[in-house]
Structure 1
């Protein structure tokens, strides 16, 4: 008897990402595996009495989206916090904050997301005094979109014992004013976390970034609450067509919460979570990462790579630069790891067979990261490591070809480009300076030089929609005449979000493409994305998401 499919999608524009058979009209799924692809007529005989047949009505069906860089706990929590995304001007900011405060009378520290550096207007820097005018009596903190800067009111600074300043370690800063008191601006995690830890979550959502460690104690009620927060965030990802998440902060607590969801049949996406190697950790801690790789090793949940921060971001001048900032020529910042310490981490992690992924935004941070990868290859022998660099917002031209030479992956976020759909031009381009423009956010330059490229949003740094991110990649305009055109094509962008994302996870043999025998991870869109005008791709919406053969999202 011929095998019958559990699900058939017909009348579709299938984009398979399989070079040997790039298009099809129908697809059949059996359990969690793709059974067959072909024309409607070829797939029709696989219909059985219990087969669900879905008419795509000529819309695109493609592999599920692989979000190659995000922060799932912070992103999930952001869904219930105040979003200041798109808010401009003091009055609009004040109105939004006051309404949120009124709706959350019992929250000990009010937190807001996505406040632009220029939320008050160009040239006016946010201080605690602005926030005190809005909320004089309740502790309040708002994050910049990049989460590398935040601004707190006086009540929050007093509560966290930051008003008179504090040593928060290299690369972090409580910005001080001429009056000897904190201005309210907090740069990097060590400066921000003393406030956030006093919120109702106790800052558990940020431990994966801050320490890489686990909460000291969690009540059953708190754990159940965290689980519910994560489940909501994961379901939200599924509604955006995402079937795979590569998380970029990690601890055992998050892994075990995911393990619990998986055991209960409630994990709607595949997820990998890293061991976060911090600059204060002993090198032997990497053995823990190797143990996680053995323990969490299923197709749905893996803990199989190491995350490292090399620097901060351009806007807060915490990115590590080869030459000074354009508006501060004598300042390059410092890396979070010395070259010797970073090389030791790279060599050890590589020797354990672990993939490494490094946040490096400044051109000096990118170079130092590449140097460490090169040292690892010399020490341990060249291998198919697929080590990564995250963001690469500015790169020296001499380092561009090193990605292909060393086999290093460029993990980039087109939605982050200043002047795009998410972030304003300032203060980023003013701090970069025109001389650096040609090698800033240089996706096309990197790809043309042979770098393997994966895309992501870095949610909650920017909205998680893959199609909004792709539109930025397709439509970006140069900042000045004569700069390189960094635009990508639609096929390249979709590939970076699907097949290439699977490849960077060492899972290209079973996901990222639509082909018989591969895992049934699929998204059906509301239209034919290939027929969309480039400036409307952000409007494309998933109507059906299938992960591991299970429908994880279906539009009403």
Structure 2
């Protein structure tokens, strides 16, 4: 009720008042004469397309609402009233009466593994399974259809099906005894392998855990049990092999189809150099003009190489200045994940009495952070645990001391547990938080089975802060971490960030960390203007303002006029990227 009233009041104030600051500002910015001056002072060129009779939530600084938008070429040339838009309508202008539908800036997914769509096409997809038995059935079917593969890989099994040391090799040996098989977990931080894969990698009872990784072992025999965590995964993956450039290109193109259908127009894929051929695939697609959305990707730094690797990253950035494809960030894997007991915590896990795994040596990280910052890169740090986040911030602080304060916008991704004292450090350092609101719930199969037993009840209740950051003026951008989150529709993420409860659940005690619930304006901003800020593209996108690129989406309903629990069901009707139509829903006008 409050949101409906708020929208009505705001619309009346902005649209109906003849002297509103918003109307004056947009008219002047669009090249129109201010009120009281004859319109003949300056001729207005017709627009290519004009949308009228809409609820245009601009997400500009004042969160203004308009009725109409005019686009010429790749840019927005007018935002304001329907009456004002008439001057932009010429004989060839395409005019669309949206009949009260909503216009938003294109959504921005600030951390998404777009290129990993390739694995869903060319390997074993376990996401539809929910038990060891179901996974084995899926694997058997794949092997039957691909009988001549020399190695096999896949993704999508869930840690809660096998807590503790994880799923075992013996289960896989029953269905794939001879061909090396490696299956990545849905969170990307554990690998389930058969005996043939362990043999291929030379992993035995005597193989030590690599730094930053864990070889899970049978508690009685000490033999590798079949699950590898974090850096230990590389021992097998380096032998299994990856995908070709052409396969990655197919995967990225398939992702784009999914993205524009969901209104996503800008993303950051952080997997450059982490896997062979990913960077090359993006580069070829850019040269072939086959990219339909904007990418500001990140290069994954190797913790074994340190600051000397930044020079190579600069060369990669310099050769990739396509408007739709650039590399502007360095990805750092600081720690692991809670479900693998590898997130790095200030206090030990309840079930294991260890603090987790810190993947980077803190001193090497600091020097690498300073070198990347000096070269003009953003840091894009994976950090789940509170201790990991503190160390990540230490490195950003060190970089500032070495290079001086500047508009760096370094980001920390995930932030499952954060020491409240560190939130003020985000603001002081100008750091951005990148969160995944899709996960803001006491998820069945995870919360009671993994998070509470591993973290203890008190810490589990403090997971995934968001509103605390916003209240202190920290920029918070939302993302999906697709394919960890298989369904990455931002509208679902917006709803989840507001409710923080599983769909269909009505018990208030099941709201995850309720004080951290965000508002609808908060959530929209996190997927638009704050996402643009996080990716250093807020000068060209993220809000509907004159002079910015025409990245806009049309929704079939006004988000402020429906119950919060219906936001996820709202449909994207049209997606434009730089004024070009890249998606139109076929069964609706």
TM-score (norm 1): 0.88
Unpaired stretches in structure 1, ≥5 consecutive residues: 205-221
Bigger drift between 414-423 and 245-254 goes to 414-423
Residues in 2 aligned to 1:83 and 1:523: alpha-carbon distance in whole angstroms: 31
Distance in 1 (CA, whole Å) between partners of 2:203 and 2:557 is 52
Cα deviation for residue 147 of structure 1 reads: 0.6
> Once the two structures are superposed, what CA deviation does each residue of 1:402-435 show, in whole Å capped at 9, x if it has no partner?
1112211111111234534896553123211123
- Out of 439, 443, 452, the residue aligned to residue 429 of structure 1 is 452
Matches within 5 A, 1:138-537: 138-162=179-203, 164=205, 166-167=207-208, 169-177=210-218, 178-188=220-230, 190-197=231-238, 202-204=241-243, 222-251=244-273, 253-329=277-353, 331-417=354-440, 419-420=442-443, 425-463=448-486, 464-477=488-501, 484-537=514-567
Change (3 A) 1:86 1:255: closer
Question: For the Cα contact (< 8 Å) 1:421–1:472, is it kept in 2?
Answer: no
Q: Quick check: 1:555 aligned with 2:585?
A: yes
Give the Å deviation of 1:481.
9.0
- 2:157 corresponds in structure 1 to 115
User: Using a 3 Å threshold, how does the CA distance of structure 1 residues 14 and 394 change in structure 2: closer, same or farther?
Assistant: same
Q: Deviations over 1:184-215 (max 9, x none)?
A: 11111x4334544565xx325xxxxxxxxxxx
- Kept in 2, the 8 Å contact 1:418–1:426? The answer is no
1:85 aligns to 2:127 (yes or no):
yes
CA shift in 2, pair 1:537/1:483, >3 Å: closer
Matched, 1:9 2:32: no
CA deviation after TM superposition for structure 1 residue 289, in Å: 2.5
Aligned-pair Cα RMSD in Å: 2.8
Alpha-carbon distance between aligned partners in 2 of 1:112 and 1:425, rounded to the nearest angstrom? 27
Q: Measure the CA separation in 2 of the matches of 1:471 and 1:235.
A: 23
Deviation at 1:154, TM superposition (A): 2.9
How far off is 1:322 after superposition? 1.2
**Preserved CA contact (<8 Å) 1:390 1:411:** yes
The range that moved more, 305-314 or 421-430, is 421-430
The alpha carbon displacement at 1:102 in A equals: 3.1
SS at match of 2:110: strand
Q: Is the 8 A contact 1:438 1:483 kept in 2?
A: yes
Q: Please tell me whether the aligned partners of residues 292 and 304 of structure 1 are also in contact (alpha carbons under 8 angstroms).
A: no
Deviation at 1:268, TM superposition (A): 0.7
Q: Distance in 2 between matches of 1:168 and 1:50?
A: 67
SS in 1 for 2:158: coil
Residues in 1 aligned to 2:85 and 2:431: alpha-carbon distance in whole angstroms: 40
5 Å-filtered alignment, 1:59-70, equals 59-70=101-112
CA contact (8 A) 1:319 1:333 kept: yes
Measured after TM superposition, the shift of residue 500 of structure 1 is 0.6
The CA deviation string for residues 152-197 of structure 1, in whole angstroms up to 9 with x for no partner, is 2334333444365644621212212133432111111x43345445
User: Following the alignment from structure 1 to structure 2, what is the Cα–Cα distance between the partners of residues 424 and 80?
Assistant: 32
Distance in 2 between residues matched to 1:318 and 1:65, nearest whole Å = 32
CA deviation after TM superposition for structure 1 residue 493, in Å: 0.6
Which is further off, 472-481 or 457-466? Answer: 472-481
- Residue aligned with 1:229, SS: helix
- Contact in 1 for aligned 2:129/2:157 (Cα 8 Å): yes
CA distance change for structure 1 residues 80 and 466 in 2, over 3 Å: closer, same or farther? farther
Following superposition, the deviation at residue 313 of structure 1 comes to 0.9
Asked if the contact 2:301–2:330 (Cα under 8 Å) also holds between the matched residues in 1, the reply is yes
Is the 8 Å Cα contact of residues 26 and 37 (structure 1) preserved in structure 2?
A: yes
- Segments of structure 2 that go 5 or more residues without pairing to the other structure are 1-42, 502-507
- The DSSP-based 3-state class of the residue aligned with 2:356 is coil
- Does the aligned pair in 2 maintain the 1:397–1:439 contact within 8 Å? no
Aligned-residue offset at 1:56: 3.2
In 1: Cα distance, 2:130 partner to 2:109 partner: 29
Residues 168 and 73 (structure 1 numbering): CA distance in 2 closer, same or farther, change over 3 Å? Answer: farther
Among 94, 100, 103, the residue aligned to 2:145: 103
Structure 1 residues 97 and 254: CA distance shift in structure 2, 3 A: closer
How far residue 520 of structure 1 moved from its aligned partner, in angstroms, is 0.9
**Number of matched pairs:** 534
Contact kept, 8 Å, 1:76 with 1:234, in 2: the verdict is no
SS of 1:69's equivalent in the other structure is coil
Structure 2 residue matching 1:85: 3-state secondary structure = coil
Q: Is the 8 A contact 1:114 1:144 kept in 2?
A: yes
- TM-score normalized with structure 2 length: 0.83
Q: CA 1:422–1:5 in 2, change beyond 3 Å: closer, same or farther?
A: farther
Structure 2 contact 365–395 (Cα < 8 Å) conserved: yes
Counterparts in 2 of 1:40 and 1:108: CA distance versus 1, 3 Å:
farther
Q: In structure 1, which of residues 45, 56, 66 is the aligned counterpart of residue 98 of structure 2?
A: 56
CA distance in 2, matches of 1:421, 1:510: 40
The one of 98, 121, 132 equivalent to 2:173 is: 132
Deviation string 1:329-355 (CA, Å, 9 cap, x unpaired) is 3x1134222222122112222222322
CA distance in 2, matches of 1:124, 1:377: 40
The answer (yes or no) to whether the contact 2:265–2:293 under 8 Å persists in 1 is yes
Give the conservation status (yes or no) of the 8 Å contact 2:197–2:236: yes
